[in-house]
Amino acid sequence: MSNVKFLSGENVPLEMHKVRMVQKVNLLPVEERFKSMKEAGYNTFLLRNRDVFMDMLTDSGVNAMSQDQYAAMMQADDSYAGSETYYRLEKVLQDIFGMEYFLPAHQGRACENIIAQTLVKPGMVTIMNYHFTTTKAHITLNGGVVEEILYDEGYKIKSDAPFKGDIDVDKLKESIKRNGPENVAFVRIEAGTNLIGGQPVSMANMREVSQICRSEGIKLVYDASLLGDNLYFIKIRDPKYKDTKIIDITREIASMMDIVYFSARKLGSARGGGILVSDKALFLKMRELVPLYEGFLTYGGMSVREMEALAVGLLETMDIDVISQTPIIVEALCNELIKNNVPVVTPPGGLGCHVDASEFCSHIPQEEYPAGALAAAIFIASGVRCMERGTMSEQRNDDGSERLAEMELARIAVPRRVFTLSQVKYTADRISWLYRHRNMIGGLKFVEEPKVLRFFFGRLEPLSNWPEELAKQFRKDFGDSL
Ligand SMILES: *Cc1c(COP(=O)(O)O)cnc(C)c1O
């Protein structure tokens, strides 16, 4: 823990910023929380923010910006083509990543669209530590297949392994051999790894994967959306990098990759996204798609104001006091829950605390969406909005059967520098109450089910009147308090 500041004696995370602008939030009484959850079809995506006390749905586009980011927004150079803002951002990216070419895009999935259209041909396989929802959707849309080669420890809910996002190198070699290198569209490393609990990837693993890809002539793509968290974990969990500057770790990672892309809704606490590449031919090929899908090359779907905020935010990401903020709060939330026996993914990762719904709701079969039911129950118990990351987030098989997720998680995201420690403790307290009443939580079923990315818009119903009973129990236990 060498570089992270704690209050002495206790393991209390220390915020390295002060709050100078606030937004009032409302905490509705439990009866109204139940009512708004019902109206939202038991899908936390469909809740209205005015009914939400703490919005912990995601870390995407909801991170607090710094005063320097806001100040930079005022100096944006408005123009369709040739904006100075673009050149400022390009220079920051080239300096940080040491890669020559930059393509702007409106968010992370837009980068995935461009990369998939350029590299994926029908029947080709894309090999990765673990998929992300939008990544997989773009690859399959282009006729490709996704193969996951996470090492086995990564699938375990409880573990001491410091880098659970690592690729199993033997599985990688086997997959390349089986498919033939010419049929591999690219290998992708996602670090941190979103859907398995924000778990990091080690430098040694990236290096080994990079060497294999180079010797086989396969392109290596790096999803850097959660790079800030991953840099923090490398710095504090890998003794070899204890004294290395964050920017030097970043450059070393980039030097192993052919393409680096990111969602700036997370990385740099701004909005937008972009692709970095060193190879000119590949750059030119991907460049053709930017004006078609994003906008002219000097804005790519971003406003000049968000580009200025991003340039500053990226530089701030090179500061341990900035990137430590989410992981230490995540760790505090996990520790509070563990104290009360609530099952969570360990070790704590980046982006949020992941509650293990398969143990929390072990009485609910996967076909009845235990993680979705838990997310709805958490909202009723606390007004905290979190996200289902389990079977609901999967897509049905072609024959209509359910594709059961490897993990059933309720993800309580921690937007960067937004919530205070007392709010985090409140969250843990309410979830711990819910855990004591876990047997009251029942299953859900879809009543409206979109074919693609159903978790965004789908509507569900409880299989009994358990949500109402839960709200009544809450009132009984909490008396007049909200
Ligand atoms: C959020 C995210 C994306 C997609 O980015 P958007 O800006 O939401 O389109 C891709 N990969 C990872 C790892 C992410 O966390």
Reported as a single tens digit per residue, the pLDDT across 70-112 is: 999 999 999 999 999 999 999 999 999 999 999 999 999 999 9
* Residue 392 pLDDT greater than 50, yes or no: yes
SS3 assignment, position 395:
coil
Q: Whose CA is nearest to atom 6 of ligand 1?
A: 108
Q: How far apart are CA 227 and CA 411, in angstroms?
A: 19
Average of per-residue pLDDT across 203-232: 98
User: By percentage, how much of the chain surpasses pLDDT 90?
Assistant: 94
pLDDT of residue 66: 97
Measured in Å, residue 212 CA sits from the centre of ligand 1 at: 26
pLDDT of residue 482: 84
* Residue 7 pLDDT greater than 60, yes or no: no
* Residue 10 pLDDT greater than 70, yes or no: no
Give start and end residues of each alpha helix (H) in 182-288.
Answer: 203-216, 227-237, 246-255, 280-287
Average of per-residue pLDDT across 350-360: 97
Is residue 414 packed enough to be buried (19+ CB in 10 Å), middle (13-18) or exposed (0-12)? buried
Nearest to 53 by CA among 70, 35, 28: 28
SS3 assignment, position 394:
coil
Q: Whose CA is nearest to atom 4 of ligand 1?
A: 108
Measured in Å, residue 355 CA sits from the centre of ligand 1 at: 21
Pocket of ligand 1 (CB under 6 A): 60, 107-109, 132, 134-135, 190, 194, 223, 225-226, 263, 265-266, 273
pLDDT of residue 13: 86
Measured in Å, residue 438 CA sits from the centre of ligand 1 at: 32
Token pair recorded at residue 228: 């800030």
pLDDT of residue 377: 98
Q: Which helix (H) or strand (E) holds 425?
A: helix 421-436
Tell me the C-alpha to C-alpha distance, in Å, between residue 468 and each of 103, 274, 477. Answer: 50, 45, 14
Tell me the sheet residues that pair with 410.
Answer: 355, 388
Token pair recorded at residue 178: 């089986």
Q: Whose CA is nearest to atom 14 of ligand 1?
A: 225
Handedness of CA 148, 153, 157, 162 (dihedral sign): negative
Q: How is 303-349 classified by DSSP, letter by letter?
A: -HHHHHHHHHHHHHTT-HHHHTHHHHHHHHHHHHHHHTT--B-SS--
Relative to the CA of 263, which ligand 1 atom is closest? 7
Token pair recorded at residue 85: 């803002």
The answer to whether residues 144 and 125 touch, using CB atoms and an 8 Å cutoff, is: yes
Token pair recorded at residue 473: 């129990």
Question: How many CB atoms sit inside 10 A of residue 472's CB?
Answer: 15
* Residue 437 pLDDT greater than 60, yes or no: yes
Relative to the CA of 351, which ligand 1 atom is closest? 15
Q: Whose CA is nearest to atom 5 of ligand 1?
A: 108
Residues marked active site are found at 80, 132-133, 223, 266, 389, 455
Tell me the sheet residues that pair with 461.
Answer: 445
Measured in Å, residue 226 CA sits from the centre of ligand 1 at: 8
Q: How far apart are CA 427 and CA 277, in angstroms?
A: 41
Q: How far apart are CA 371 and CA 119, in angstroms?
A: 34
* Residue 2 pLDDT greater than 60, yes or no: no
